[in-house]
């Protein structure tokens, strides 16, 4: 039985912690839904009212974040039992990363709304296409390991994390700044640079979330 499985069992024994865990799950599902639609909007180039309405849903993610923190703090304040306080800290740590993903997803929505042309990664840069595909895949895999409390799959996911994705993102930015990046279809270089950086940060936060399933609290976000 994994450490994470033990933590979930602790959460389910307490009403407030159980609610906080359920809301954390809803929060990451909503974040993934918005992320996918943000990329669709960026690729289509459509300036629809739906994208602007979707951006407003970031407030729901922020609300989940605040609710989880409040419920964790209230649980320990009322119960006075700090024996399993680590489990509450893990929950708070989890929603912080999900909230950060929500912020970067909102940034991608801004790109979709304000970019003069669609950004099709496969037509823009092979490296950009690689990062986009990797983050999309990692998002669904991260949700799966959380739902199934699958420490083995989570460890495999962590081991397969491409450390070079950050370098690939940085190389795109470097090439744009140095003027060596080939601009296609009159796409704004600034938009491409920002998109690459947002994907890089979302990928890093997904890695942190995956590590919740495998690592003790003090090692969350790190390789063991």
Q: pLDDT-derived band of residue 33, with 50, 70 and 90 as boundaries?
A: very high
pLDDT at 49 (0 to 100): 81
CATH code that applies to domain 3-219:
1.20.58.220
Higher pLDDT, 35 or 180: 35
Give percent of the chain with pLDDT exceeding 70. Answer: 93
CA 138/CA 187 separation, integer angstroms: 27
User: Looking at the predicted structure, is the pLDDT value of residue 150 above 80?
Assistant: yes
pLDDT at 2 (0 to 100): 59
Mean pLDDT in residue range 180-188: 78
pLDDT at 139 (0 to 100): 97
pLDDT tens profile 78-88:
877 777 788 88
Mean pLDDT in residue range 154-159: 89
Higher pLDDT, 78 or 69: 69
Q: Please return the burial class of 94, using the count of CB atoms within 10 Å of its CB with bins 0-12, 13-18 and 19+.
A: buried
pLDDT at 1 (0 to 100): 44
CA 124/CA 184 separation, integer angstroms: 6
CA 100/CA 160 separation, integer angstroms: 22
pTM of the full predicted structure?
0.90
Contact yes or no for 99/61 (Cβ under 8 A) = yes
Domain boundaries, the chain: 3-219
pLDDT tens profile 106-148:
999 999 888 878 888 888 888 898 999 999 999 999 999 999 9
pLDDT at 3 (0 to 100): 63
Contact yes or no for 112/38 (Cβ under 8 A) = yes
User: Looking at the predicted structure, is the pLDDT value of residue 173 above 70?
Assistant: yes
pLDDT at 34 (0 to 100): 95
**100: closest CA among 128, 127, 126, 65?**
65
């Amino acid at each position: 039985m994994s450490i994470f499985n033990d933590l979930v069992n602790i959460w389910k024994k307490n009403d407030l912690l159980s609610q906080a865990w359920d809301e954390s799950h809803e929060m990451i599902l909503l974040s993934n839904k918005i992320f996918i639609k943000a990329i669709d909007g960026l690729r289509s180039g459509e300036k629809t009212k739906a994208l602007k309405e979707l951006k407003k849903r970031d407030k729901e993610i922020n609300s989940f974040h605040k609710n989880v923190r409040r419920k964790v703090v209230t649980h320990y304040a009322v119960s006075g039992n700090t024996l399993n306080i680590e489990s509450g800290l893990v929950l708070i740590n989890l929603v912080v990363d999900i909230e950060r993903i929500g912020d970067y997803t909102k940034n991608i929505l801004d790109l979709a709304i304000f970019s003069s042309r669609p950004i099709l990664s496969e037509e823009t840069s092979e490296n950009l296409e690689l990062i986009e595909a990797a983050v999309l895949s990692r998002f669904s895999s991260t949700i799966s390991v959380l739902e199934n409390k699958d420490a083995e799959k989570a460890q495999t996911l962590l081991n397969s994390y491409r450390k070079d994705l950050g370098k690939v993102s940085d190389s795109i930015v470097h090439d744009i700044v140095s003027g060596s990046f080939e601009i296609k279809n009159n796409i704004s270089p600034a938009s491409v640079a920002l998109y690459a950086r947002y994907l890089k940060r979302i990928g890093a936060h997904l890695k942190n979330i995956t590590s919740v399933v495998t690592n003790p609290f003090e090692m969350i976000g790190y390789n063991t």
